[in-house]
Amino acid sequence: MNILYIMFDQLRFDYLSCAGHKTLHTPHIDRLASQGVRFTNAYTQSPVCGAARMSAYTGRYVSSHGAAWNNYPLRVGEMTLGDHLRDAGMDCWLIGKTHMKADAKGMERLGLSPDSVIGARQADCGFDVWCRDDGLWAEGPDGPYDQKRSPYNEYLKSKGYAGGNPWADHANAGVENGEIASGWFMKNADKAANVDEPDSETPWLTSQAIAFIEQAKSPWCAHVSYIKPHWPYIVPAPYHDMYDVDDIQPVIRSKREVVDPHPIYRAFTQGRVGKSFAQDHVREKVIPAYMGLIKQCDDQMGRLFDYLETTGRMNDTMIVLTSDHGDYLGDHWMGEKDLFHAPSVKVPLIVHDPRSSADATRGTTCEALVEAIDVTATFIEAAGGDVPDHIVEGRSLQPYLTGTPHPNPRNFAISEYDYSSHPVGTALNVPPKEARLFMVATQDWKLVHCEGGFRPMLFDLKNDPNELFDLGGDPDYEDTRAMLYDHLHTWARRPAQRVTISDAEIHAKRKIGARTGVLLGVYDEDEIAPDLRARYRGPSPKRPN
Amino acid sequence: MNILYIMFDQLRFDYLSCAGHKTLHTPHIDRLASQGVRFTNAYTQSPVCGAARMSAYTGRYVSSHGAAWNNYPLRVGEMTLGDHLRDAGMDCWLIGKTHMKADAKGMERLGLSPDSVIGARQADCGFDVWCRDDGLWAEGPDGPYDQKRSPYNEYLKSKGYAGGNPWADHANAGVENGEIASGWFMKNADKAANVDEPDSETPWLTSQAIAFIEQAKSPWCAHVSYIKPHWPYIVPAPYHDMYDVDDIQPVIRSKREVVDPHPIYRAFTQGRVGKSFAQDHVREKVIPAYMGLIKQCDDQMGRLFDYLETTGRMNDTMIVLTSDHGDYLGDHWMGEKDLFHAPSVKVPLIVHDPRSSADATRGTTCEALVEAIDVTATFIEAAGGDVPDHIVEGRSLQPYLTGTPHPNPRNFAISEYDYSSHPVGTALNVPPKEARLFMVATQDWKLVHCEGGFRPMLFDLKNDPNELFDLGGDPDYEDTRAMLYDHLHTWARRPAQRVTISDAEIHAKRKIGARTGVLLGVYDEDEIAPDLRARYRGPSPKRPN
C-alpha cells in the first residue's frame, strides 16, 4: 500500500460541501469523503503553519519538538515521519510545502553537511525531495521572505512569464488599466490573477504530484502539500468571479465578544489583521476569492483522483486530505489564525483507506476527538511499522477506519500557540518564555491557558457552539476550569523526551534483570542463587610485593 | 580562570564535619568550605546516578533531556557543558565517571562515527576524555555490567595485582582465611580491601587529576568524578577500622513511617535493599566502612588541594565539590537512594571562587534553594559565556558567591525519579510511562507527585525536619498541596524544548520585523509606508502567448 498525504494550507474545516458549506460545492473532495471517513473534530497541534507542520511531520506536540512558530528551526536529530517510514521500508517524498527551517547551528555542531543524504533529510524535515516549494516568494527591502529557490517561479519563467518574480506579478496579482494589481492588497481579491489557470500554483503542484506517482516504486509515501487557499487571496479566471457576496456564509461574531475581552484576544483583534477583517467590505472582497481558491483545489483533486482511479492507485493507496490550520476570515473579529476558535484550530480531515477492512466505514463521519499527530501514527501503522509511542505522541486512527472501538481514545485534544515573536507579544510586552498559549478541548468544553499571569479563556461548546461567550473569568465555572486544567497538567507531565528507550525495552529490562555481578542489599552469600556464589569465592589473590 | 568540578558518588550531604557530622572529621573538605560558600539546600535533579549526571552535564531537567535512569541513553545532539564551555573558549575534560550511555541508534541515524571527534564527544557526554572510568566493573553470567575497558583495572594489573578482575578481587574485596571476602557482601564491609591504599580507586583517580592539571593549558575545565563512597562498601587499611558502632549517628526513622504507608514508599522499603538496611547489624557493618571511604576521600582532597596551592592553581581555579545524590543508609527504612527524603535527594555543594569578587562570602553557608543544574550555569558564566537560558535550565550561583541579591532565585526545587525499570515498577506493575515521580520542595514543604493514580506524599520540613510524617493524604493540607502542585505545573509547562532560538533572537525579531514583502491584513496601498509602495506597482507584465 502507498500513502498520499494531501495537505492544504489555511483551508477551513467547514469550507467543504461535505462539511456543510451551503454555497461552496466541492464534489471531488466530497467523493473522497464518500469513500472514506471524515473526522469532524480534528484539531491542529498549533494554529500557525510552521509549528503545526513540524508536529504533523514528527507526530509530536509543539512542546515536544520545540519548533514553536514559523521559522523556529526544528532541532537536529528530531525524528520525523520519513525516519519512521523508512524504518518500515517505505520511502517518504515531499512535493510542495513544509515551512521547515533547518537547525543550521545544530547540524554544524554535529558535522552534518546539507549536501549529504543524511544532512539533506535533516534540512528537509526528514523527506526526500521531489519538489520543495514553500509557496511564499515575497520580496522586500530586507530581501526575500524565503531564501530558497522556487521551482514554481522557475516553471513560470520557463513558460515565458515575464519579470523577475512572476509568482508575485502574475500568479498573485491581477491587472488594472495595464498596471499590476497586487494580490497583497485585499481590494484586488476580486480580480483574476494574471496567469493562465493551468499555470497557477494548484494545478502546477498537482502535475508535480502526478509526475511523481507516474514513476514511483511502490510502496511510497508522497506528501503533496499545497500553498493554497492560503493568502495572497487572489485566484485566476474562471474562479475569480464564481462567488459573490450572496455566497458568503453568515459571519460568526458578536459585539459582546469585544466588550471587556480577554487582553490577549483583544490584542489580536486590535492588530492590523483583526481590524481589517472586522470590516464587511474586506470580508466581501476576500471570502469569494478564498472560495474560488478552494473550488480550484477541489477541481484539481478531481483531476488527481481521476488519475489515481485510471491507474489503479486508488485501490492500493491510503489517501489523507487535511490542512495545517484554518482561517478566521472575520469570524470573532479576527483574521488569519493564531487563536483557538473552531475556524482557526479545527482542520478538515478525510482518510481513505483502500483496504477491505475499512469498507464498513466508507462514507461515514467520525466525531471522536483526534489530532493532526494521529495521522502520523496512522501512516506508520499503515506502512507496516509499529508506532514507537515513546517518540510519536499521535495515536493511530486505524480503529476508527475499521469501525472498531479505539483502545486509547482521546478524552481531550491539545493545541498550542507561541506568540513570542508575533506583534501581539510586542504589543503586550510579554517575555518570550511567557508568550505561550495552551488549548485543551473536550467534546463539551474548550479551555485556553495563557502563561504570563493572564486569566484563562473558557467556552461551553455544547451550549455556545459558536464560542461567543468567554467564561474564563466566570466564578460559576471554577470546577469546569479545574477539570480542564487537570487534563492539561496530566498532559504537561508526559514523558515526551524519553525517546531513546521504548516501553517494550523497559518491560524487557524488568523481565530479564540482567545478572551482571552487581549485588544490592546482600549481606551474605546465602541470599543469592547457589549458581552465582562461585563468582564471589576463591583463594584471595596475592598483592604485588 | 580554570574550573575543577569535583563530584563524588553517593556522598550524603550531612556526612562532612562542616555539615555537622559529629564523628566524621573531614578537615580538607572543611577547608574548601572555609574558602568558599557551602550550600545547605542543594538538590540533585534525580536521586540516581545516570539521570542526575545527565542533568548535571546538560544543565537541564531530567524531563528535558529524557535520560531518566541509569543506562537510558542521552539523545544524540543534546547540548552539554562541554559544548557550552568550548563555545566560550574553554576545554572540558573528563577524569573519572559519567555513567553516560551513548545514543547509538541516534548516532547511527545521523551518521556519527564514535571514533570521530564529534562522535566521541557525543558518546562521552560532551567531554574530551583524559580518563573515563565509570567504576563498576562487576561481572555475572550475563557478562559485565559495563562493556567498556577499565583504566583502573588496567592500572592494577600493571602494578602486578593478580586475577582477571583485580577491581573486584582486590580493590573491592577483603581476605578471610586466605579466601576472597567479596565487598558485594555487606558482612565483609568491616574488612580491609585487599589493595595497598595508594592503589585504591580514590587515590588513583586523584593522581589522574593531578597528572591532567600538570599538563593542562589554561583555561581548562576538569570534571574529576569519583566512584566512591559508592558501594561496594569496603575500604583499604587504615580506613577500614577507623570508625566503629559508637561513631554511627542516630538512625532517622520511625515505626510510624511503615504503618499504612504510601504504596510506592512501601514497595521500596520492602525490596531487598530496604529490608536489608532496616536491620541494625547491616547498618553497623556498612556505615563505618562508608565513613572510612569518605575519610579517604577527604584525605585525597587534602592531597589535591595541597597540590593546587603549591602550584598556584588555587588562585586561578573555581572549585566545586559535590555529589550526584546521597545514600539512605537505613534512614526511613531505606537503603541506596531512589526517593526524595533529604539523605537521598540533598547533595553536598561547596563552591570556591578564587576571584576577589567572592571574598565577602568565604567561609559562609547559603540556605537558598539551589539545584545541581545551577552549577552548570555557574560554570558557563565563569568561563565568560552567556548562559543560553533557552537551553540551560540552571541558574548561575554567581550572585550567591558575591553576596548580591539573586535576580532570579528559586522559590521551589524540582527533582524527578523514573522507576520504570526498577524492581519497584515490576512489583507494583506500573506501566513504564506512569512509573515516574516528581518532587517539588520549598524551604517549608516537600511534595512528591506520583503518576499512575497514587496519592502524593507531603512533608512539613519546618515542623517535621526529619520527614517522618507523610501528610500526603491528610485533608487538612489540601491547600498546601494545591500550592505545591501549582509550582509543579508552572514548571511542567516550561518551554524546555525551544532550544533552537534564544530569547534575545526572539526580541530581535520583534524589534526588526523584517520587511520581506509579505503584507498581512492590508486592503490597499495607502496602508503601507510610501517607500514600499513602488514594489507592488508597475506595468503589468504580459502573459506568454
B350-378: per-residue pLDDT in tens?
Answer: 999 999 999 999 999 999 999 999 999 99
Query: Which chain A residues contact residue B496 at CB under 8 A?
Result: 63, 66
> Measured between alpha carbons, how far is residue B439 from residues A1, A487, B325, B461 in Å?
48, 20, 14, 13
Type and span of the H or E element at A377: helix A372-382
CB A484 within 8 A of CB A445: yes
Measured in angstroms, the CA of A330 and the nearest CA of chain B are apart by: 11
Report, in this order, helix, strand and coil percent for chain A, each rounded to 5.
Answer: 40, 15, 45
Q: A83 in contact with B at a CB cutoff of 8 Å?
A: yes
Which of the residues in chain B have pLDDT under 70?
512-514
Per DSSP, which regions of A29-178 are E strands? 37-39, 42-43, 91-96, 128-132, 139-140, 143-144, 173-176
Instruction: Give per-residue pLDDT as tens, A524-534.
Output: 999 999 999 99
What gap in Å lies between CA A534 and CA B61, rounded to an integer? 42
Binned at pLDDT 50, 70 and 90, residue A163 comes out as confident
Binned at pLDDT 50, 70 and 90, residue A145 comes out as very high
Mean pLDDT of A268-283: 97
A364 half-sphere exposure, CB direction, 13 A CA radius: 13
Those of residues 261-280 in B touching chain A at CB distance below 8 A are 271-277, 279
Q: A500 in contact with B at a CB cutoff of 8 Å?
A: yes
Planar angle of CA A35, A61, A71, nearest 5 degrees: 100
Residue B537's closest chain A neighbor by CA?
Answer: A180
Query: Which chain B residues contact residue A163 at CB under 8 A?
Result: 541
Binned at pLDDT 50, 70 and 90, residue A545 comes out as confident
> Measured between alpha carbons, how far is residue A111 from residues A104, A114, A262, B77, B109 in Å?
10, 10, 47, 11, 13
Strands A91-96, A370-371: pairing is unpaired
At residue B339, the 3 state secondary structure works out as coil
CB B275: neighbour CB atoms within 10 A? 14
Rg, C-alpha atoms of chain B: 26
Q: B68 in contact with A at a CB cutoff of 8 Å?
A: yes
CB B221 within 8 A of CB B2: yes
CB B291 within 8 A of CB B14: no
What gap in Å lies between CA A9 and CA A229, rounded to an integer? 6
| pLDDT score at B510 | 85
What are A207-216's contacts with CB under 8 Å, separation 24+? A208/A95, A208/A96, A208/A130, A208/A131, A208/A151, A209/A95, A209/A304, A210/A304, A210/A307, A212/A93, A212/A95, A212/A130, A212/A131, A213/A4, A213/A307, A213/A308, A213/A311, A213/A313, A216/A2, A216/A91, A216/A93
CB A391 within 8 A of CB A492: no
CB A141: neighbour CB atoms within 10 A? 12
Dihedral sign of CA atoms B459, B463, B464, B469 in order: negative
Strand partners, A144: A139
Amino acid identity for residue A400 in this structure: Y
| pLDDT score at A525 | 93
CB A70: neighbour CB atoms within 10 A? 17
Q: A521 in contact with B at a CB cutoff of 8 Å?
A: yes
Of A493, A498, A535, the CB nearest to B72: A498
Binned at pLDDT 50, 70 and 90, residue A515 comes out as confident
Those of residues 90-109 in A touching chain B at CB distance below 8 A are 103, 105-106, 109
At residue B518, the 3 state secondary structure works out as coil
The whole-chain average pLDDT of chain A stands at: 97
Mean pLDDT of A281-298: 98
Those of residues 113-152 in B touching chain A at CB distance below 8 A are 116, 118, 122, 136, 138-145
> Measured between alpha carbons, how far is residue A537 from residues A422, A540, B180 in Å?
69, 8, 6
List chain B domain ranges: 2-138+198-410
Q: A530 in contact with B at a CB cutoff of 8 Å?
A: no
Residue to mutate among A497, A502, A525, A528, with most B CBs inside 10 A, is A497
- Cross-chain residue pair B432–A524, CB shorter than 8 Å: no
- Residue listed under C-alpha cell 525524528: A79
Binned at pLDDT 50, 70 and 90, residue A510 comes out as confident
Instruction: Give per-residue pLDDT as tens, A330-364.
Output: 999 999 999 999 999 999 999 999 999 999 999 99
CATH number given to A2-138+198-410: 3.40.720.10
Q: B444 in contact with A at a CB cutoff of 8 Å?
A: no
Asked casually if ipTM beats, i.e. exceeds, 0.90, the reply is yes
Instruction: Give per-residue pLDDT as tens, A363-409.
Output: 999 999 999 999 999 999 999 999 999 999 999 999 999 999 999 99
Strands B317-323, B2-9: pairing is parallel
* Whether the predicted pLDDT of A511 surpasses 80: no
Query: Which chain B residues contact residue A76 at CB under 8 A?
Result: 77, 110
Residue A509's closest chain B neighbor by CA?
Answer: B421
> Measured between alpha carbons, how far is residue B149 from residues B155, B175, B224 in Å?
11, 26, 18
Strands B2-9, B220-229: pairing is parallel
Total residue length of chain A: 545
DSSP B3-21: EEEEEEES--TTSSGGGT-
Mean pLDDT of A6-14: 98
In terms of Cα–Cα distance, which of A278, A285, A179, A296 is closest to A237? A296
Question: How far, in whole angstroms, is CA B183 from its chain's centroid?
Answer: 25
Q: What is the pTM of this model?
A: 0.97
